Structure 1
Amino acid sequence: MVRSSVRRMISSRNDLVYPVLGFASLFAFLYMSFGHLFNLQNGENSFSFVQRNGTHFTSDGTIFYVNGWNSYWLMEHAVEDKSRPRVREMMQQGAKMGLTVCRTWAFNDGAYNALQISPGKFDERVFKALDHVIAEARREGIRLLLSLVNNLHAYGGKRQYVHWAWEEGVGLSSSNDSFFFDPSIRQYFKSYVKTILTRKNTVTGIEYRNDPTIFAWELINEPRCTSDPSGDTLQDWIEDMSAFVKSIDKNHLLTIGHEGFYGPKSPKASTVNPGGWATELGSDFIRNSIIPAIDFASVHIYPDQWFNYELDLEAKLKFTSKWMLSHIEDGDKELKKPVFFTEFGMSNLSKGFNPSQRDKLYKTVTNIIYKSAKKKTSGAGSLFWQFLVGGIEEYNDDFGIIPWKSPSTNRLIGKQSCRLAAVHGALPSQRKYLKQLCL
């Protein structure tokens, strides 16, 4: 009986000890991985200008890799009082996922709620909406990658500039590609860029060019100049515009907005491009990105859009890996600059689509960025296309999601934020949410 009682006492004690030891071991592991996050005290978001050190982005001298997203619609949604709160909601939800950078449009040329009504003429009401977006981003600890014009027709784009020149009788051609070579149109765009960069924010009182909330400027979304497949026209435009931006703003990084296609003279054109058509767009990833005033290279990833035949999921994922690793190799060996995958996504119109397929693409991309962070190579981050909040279904496309309504996607994104923070440390702007997110 005594021995039996002792055995019961020992057994009871073990029942208590083992879970405690297990919890302690788990906590020790988490603390070793994320302990530096716990030492951050709550307080106001602290921003410094993002800089480049070789193939890395740095903030306050610390390397960091980006986990972020696209929400192109923010300025337009900030124009009206009834829709403005959704800007804050989007920023708050991004911050809760540990995200650090949002890419959005800093243009709307001649369209509904246009920022630029006509060359050099702006709607102050819409400008104040952009002020609001930047102020909300700062408030929630999010930096912004701001794009300055669209190669596509949405929100005016280069076609609107050509139309303005044609209306005023100064246009050399009705071709949309004259945006790149017409001197009058170049002057229109330079005037626009100068106005944006020197704008004094009516909310914060800070000129855009002096605001570290802005991660970087992007010259143009997805530039193509098919009328000159040699690439000379686009190259000249990038050289001219990048030098002009830097003459006004020496604080911020600058990128092109490139899709990442290799030009006809590139040895990778036939082995990495998604098809022969990609060499005929007048762009060349290496040639365009190596320009000294371009601080980092940008690349997009759309395997289900770039092939004129249906690929199965495994083929899409295989292409994605090859595409990313090729460009990271370019960043390390040729460009000596960060390579930032500023758009990627999967259409829900793809044959046999289900959300788990999108998660697999997201996982493929984020795993490659995580490995790049561990090895300190040039794959500097990725931005999902696109995130939304409820009530703005009209802005959705076949790529958009509300991540917190998709639990598996939300977990995947949060995990990436935690992994990157564990490798190189958390940014001060992440201090509010990472402790809870990562544990």
Structure 2
Amino acid sequence: MDSPTSNGLSRRHFVGAAAALTISGAAGSSAPVAAARPARAAFVRRAGERLMLGARRYRYVGTNMWYAAFLPSEGKPDGSDRLRRELDRLAALGVDNIRLLGSGELSPLTNSVRPAFRDRTAHYNQTLLRGLDLTLAEMGRRGMRAVLYLTNFWEWSGGMMTYRSWVNGGQYINNNDPAHPWPEFADVSSEFYAMPKAVAMYHAYVRSLVGRTNSVTGRRYADDPAIMAWQLANEPRPGGGTAVGERHMSAYRQWIDASARLIHRLDPNHLVSTGSEGTQGCLDSDACVIGAHRFASIDYLTAHIWPQNWSWADPKDLAGSWPTVERNTRAYFARQVALARQLGKPLVIEEFGFPRDGGSFDPSATTAWKDRFYALIHDLALADMRAGGPVAGTNFWAWGGEGRARHADHHFVNGDGSFMGDPPHEPQGWYSVLAGDSTEAEIRRASAAVRTLR
């Protein structure tokens, strides 16, 4: 998800009995039985504008659950239990694709989540990585597939600004700092692409994660059908302002292709995507999107749609602003489909979110307008699917499930533990779909409709 600003510029395979182990058990002395390498037909692949699974098109209704790997941790079986409960809830709704955080840099930035997957050294957090192992094992048991993003353009998981600070003597700026107004954060963060030492540190982590062997299943990540795709980053942009973005464009494109080719060399089984918002995150330029996704190393396009963040929706007057939301959403959706057709590649609408009624963050607030927005996105995707178009799937933002804010002001404090779909820089409850929300009925409807197309 992008960083919210008011100016609209921001934001089944069997794994054996070992899958039932807790994280601490998986780390013990008993080595898991080595898993046989699965047939290539078990992996989602690209064929022109289509995503395929075996001889059939792969289409899905999915979600974002950035915090999945954070739930299970050593000595805390309740987190592993919650993970399983949340996956069961999603499976019951027909959700079979989850986009989640596979990275996180220990950061000095305000609102950056801790713990992190890595620090500035070659030390990688094995507790979190074993949490990711268990998440993938449990997803595999349920026939689900993961999209893992490998860093973040934004500050909430460390990201590119943090990599940048690790090689420049510790210099950084915080997003939404009044002393550094928009688009300064995005402009500075995008300097990362042209910093060889920072990119090398990122690539070292990519090599380690893509080359990892799951401690629960004994299967290499590169051989795991529970993974659909690797994603270079969450919402990588060439810059914030047009002038800086154009100046950084060459380095941005080189980073995309070099990073994607590295992943394909390490792992020929899985897809690679950028994690882009689409034109909104690419200087509002079709040429920018085309240039960033024309590489053979990039398998499909992505798009994100954020009506409130982009100033289409007034949270205090959702009824009055709905015509603008619907008009702009239809236009933006069509624009991204046209770009996918131009490139001859599939498209996934992998982030979209809407506030609770009245702009409330309270779990008791109704979600009638959120439900309507979800139905709009799902119906646009279904129409394109039925017409044989490039849209392969949707991932709503985001599943909060049984998570609840720990504080009356809905702010996240590191150590809270009750993770929600909203990242730590956002009000907890803003965009989360909670267990029991009426939105569940819309998700169930859409997933059932997609299944009829398979």
Superposed pair shares fold, TM > 0.5 = yes
Structure-to-structure mapping, 1:276-287, within 5 angstroms: 278=284, 284-287=288-291
Residue 134 (structure 1) shift: 0.8
In 2, the alpha carbon distance for the partners of 1:362 and 1:74 equals 22
Letter in 1 for 2:155: H
In 2, the alpha carbon distance for the partners of 1:123 and 1:302 equals 32
Letter in 2 for 1:93: R
In 1, the alpha carbon distance for the partners of 2:194 and 2:215 equals 35
Residue 361 (structure 1) shift: 0.7
Residue 359 (structure 1) shift: 0.9
Q: Which residue of 1 aligns with 2:31?
A: none
Q: Which residue of 1 aligns with 2:198?
A: 185
Does the CA contact (< 8 Å) of 1:260 and 1:284 recur in 2? no
Does the CA contact (< 8 Å) of 1:119 and 1:164 recur in 2? no
Q: Which residue of 2 aligns with 1:212?
A: 225
Matched, 1:423 2:453: yes
Letter in 1 for 2:377: V
Matched, 1:381 2:393: yes
Kindly tell me: are residues 87 and 145 of structure 1, through their superposed partners in 2, closer, same or farther at Cα, counting changes over 3 Å? same
Does the CA contact (< 8 Å) of 2:13 and 2:225 recur in 1? no
Structure-to-structure mapping, 1:239-318, within 5 angstroms: 239-261=257-279, 278=284, 284-307=288-311, 310=314, 312-318=321-327
Q: Which runs of 5+ in 2 are unaligned?
A: 1-11, 16-37, 108-113, 172-186, 315-319, 406-411, 413-418, 423-429
Q: Secondary structure at the match of 1:138?
A: helix
In 2, the alpha carbon distance for the partners of 1:295 and 1:405 equals 36
Does the CA contact (< 8 Å) of 1:242 and 1:293 recur in 2? yes
In 1, the alpha carbon distance for the partners of 2:280 and 2:372 equals 26
In 1, the alpha carbon distance for the partners of 2:313 and 2:218 equals 51
* Backbone CA RMSD of aligned residues: 2.6
In 1, the alpha carbon distance for the partners of 2:13 and 2:143 equals 11
Residue 176 (structure 1) shift: 2.9
Residue 138 (structure 1) shift: 0.8
Pick the aligned partner of 1:329 from 311, 319, 338: 338
Letter in 1 for 2:246: P
Residue 391 (structure 1) shift: 3.8
For residues 163-215 of structure 1, what are the alpha-carbon distances to aligned partners after superposition, in whole Å with 9 as ceiling and x for unaligned? 2112499xxxx943331111111111111100000001000001111111001
Q: Which residue of 2 aligns with 1:125?
A: 127
Matched, 1:399 2:431: yes
Residue 43 (structure 1) shift: 10
Matched, 1:360 2:378: no
For residues 257-307 of structure 1, what are the alpha-carbon distances to aligned partners after superposition, in whole Å with 9 as ceiling and x for unaligned? 00011698xxxxxxxxxxxx745xx99222211211100001000122113
Does the CA contact (< 8 Å) of 1:348 and 1:354 recur in 2? yes
In 1, the alpha carbon distance for the partners of 2:281 and 2:216 equals 43
Letter in 1 for 2:337: I
Kindly tell me: are residues 122 and 338 of structure 1, through their superposed partners in 2, closer, same or farther at Cα, counting changes over 3 Å? same
Pick the aligned partner of 2:50 from 56, 77, 83: 56
In 2, the alpha carbon distance for the partners of 1:101 and 1:283 equals 30
Does the CA contact (< 8 Å) of 2:96 and 2:143 recur in 1? yes
Does the CA contact (< 8 Å) of 2:13 and 2:141 recur in 1? no
In 2, the alpha carbon distance for the partners of 1:416 and 1:62 equals 19
Kindly tell me: are residues 62 and 392 of structure 1, through their superposed partners in 2, closer, same or farther at Cα, counting changes over 3 Å? same
For residues 85-109 of structure 1, what are the alpha-carbon distances to aligned partners after superposition, in whole Å with 9 as ceiling and x for unaligned? 1111111111111111000000121
Q: Secondary structure at the match of 2:259?
A: helix
Does the CA contact (< 8 Å) of 1:89 and 1:389 recur in 2? no
Q: Secondary structure at the match of 1:381?
A: strand
Q: Secondary structure at the match of 2:399?
A: coil
Q: Which residue of 2 aligns with 1:141?
A: 143
Letter in 1 for 2:445: K
Does the CA contact (< 8 Å) of 1:119 and 1:192 recur in 2? no
Matched, 1:343 2:351: yes
For residues 406-427 of structure 1, what are the alpha-carbon distances to aligned partners after superposition, in whole Å with 9 as ceiling and x for unaligned? 23x2221111111111122xxx
Residue 325 (structure 1) shift: 1.7
In 2, the alpha carbon distance for the partners of 1:229 and 1:380 equals 30
For residues 329-366 of structure 1, what are the alpha-carbon distances to aligned partners after superposition, in whole Å with 9 as ceiling and x for unaligned? 2222x110101001001123876995111111100110
Does the CA contact (< 8 Å) of 1:104 and 1:146 recur in 2? yes
Greater fraction helix = 1
Letter in 1 for 2:355: S
Residue 309 (structure 1) shift: 7.9
Q: Secondary structure at the match of 1:84?
A: helix
Does the CA contact (< 8 Å) of 1:304 and 1:350 recur in 2? no
Q: Secondary structure at the match of 1:245?
A: helix
For normalisation by structure 2, the TM-score amounts to 0.74
Does the CA contact (< 8 Å) of 2:63 and 2:99 recur in 1? yes
In 2, the alpha carbon distance for the partners of 1:349 and 1:283 equals 37
- Of residues 383-392 and 150-159 in structure 1, the stretch that sits farther from structure 2 once superposed is 383-392
For normalisation by structure 1, the TM-score amounts to 0.77
Does the CA contact (< 8 Å) of 2:237 and 2:281 recur in 1? no
